[in-house]
Amino acid sequence: MGKDSQPKHRQASQLARKKGQRASYDRVLIVTEGAKTEPNYFNEIRVANKLHTANVQVEPSVFGTEPIQIVEYAESLFLHGDESKGIQSRAFEEVYVVFDRDDHLTYHNALAKTDALNFKYLNDNKQKVAFKSIASVPCFELWLLLHFEEVYAPMHRNEVYERLKIYLPNYQKGNAGHYASTLMHIELANTRALALAGVNDKYDGIQSYTSVQELVEKLKGLNEPLKLT
């Protein structure tokens, strides 16, 4: 008697179950530069806010860590899916690409490509899909530092790390728990990040900036019921 469940059949079955388990709120794909730090952080938010894994998928780029490679991977993953990750083709309403300015050569190209992809494609529900860049100048850790102090002047990533360790002495990139360790100050960080965005923008690439708060607020409010006015 032959096998009744070949690998492809199992993958198709898993995808069908995942599709059936999706909640009614938006489906969000997040593609990150970091392999651990950012995925850990956003997955911790997902868990804390009881967001279904079928609706919120966080994946590090496998094309490389240059910003343009992150955007290219996000586009490819959206268009083609990945059965091994349980991701179906075009199965999202929003796609976020998360990367740092740092010393990358393709930072501005990545911003431009993300803008060009915004509402270019239709998803599996025939809706236009938002592509959004979540950029930090110089690095993701600026967002964490804003939980503890105001920042306006340009900073090198090494200075950001040094200042962050004043407040989080055991901070290490790639470790889990950074969301929980900063949560008590998240509203303050949000206010400071918005203040920064009011005077600087990600296209400058020199002045301190982060839009991580945009994605954090998106995830925190994803499954909240709509308020009637």
Average pLDDT per consecutive 10 residues, the chain (229 residues; last block may be shorter): 48 50 84 95 96 94 97 98 95 98 96 98 97 98 98 95 96 92 97 95 96 97 63
- How many domains are there within the chain? 1
Contact 101, 53 (CB under 8 A): no
> CA 98 to CA 108: how far, in whole Å?
13
Q: Look up tokens 């002495």; give the residue.
A: 169
pLDDT of residue 229: 43
Residue 11 located in a structural domain: no
Tell whether 1 is covered by a domain.
Answer: no
Judging by DSSP bridges, how do beta strands 209-210 and 130-137 pair with one another?
antiparallel
Across 9-154, the runs of DSSP E, i.e. the strands, are: 28-32, 56-60, 94-100, 130-137
In single-letter form, the type of residue at position 40 comes to: N
Q: How many CB atoms lie within 10 A of CB 145?
A: 28
Measure the CA–CA gap between 38 and 40, rounded to whole angstroms: 5
Whether residue 225 lies inside any domain: the answer is: no
Q: Report yes or no on 161 lying in a domain.
A: yes
- Could you identify the residue written with the tokens 């490509």? 113
Please tell me the predicted confidence (pLDDT) of residue 185.
97
Q: What is the largest CA-CA distance in the chain?
A: 70
Q: Is residue 227 part of a domain?
A: no
Does the predicted TM-score (pTM) go above 0.85? yes
State the residue range of the domain holding 149. 24-220
**Phi, psi values for residue 159, rounded to 5°:** -70, -40
Report, in angstroms and rounded to the nearest whole number, the Rg of the chain calculated over CA atoms.
Answer: 18
Q: 209 — phi, psi (to 5°)?
A: -165, 145
- pLDDT number for residue 25: 85
pLDDT of residue 196: 94
User: Token digits for 158?
Assistant: 């090494």
Looking at the domain assignment, is residue 3 inside a domain?
Answer: no
> Which pLDDT score, from 0 to 100, does residue 153 have?
93
Residue 197 is assigned to a structural domain of this protein: yes
229: in domain: no
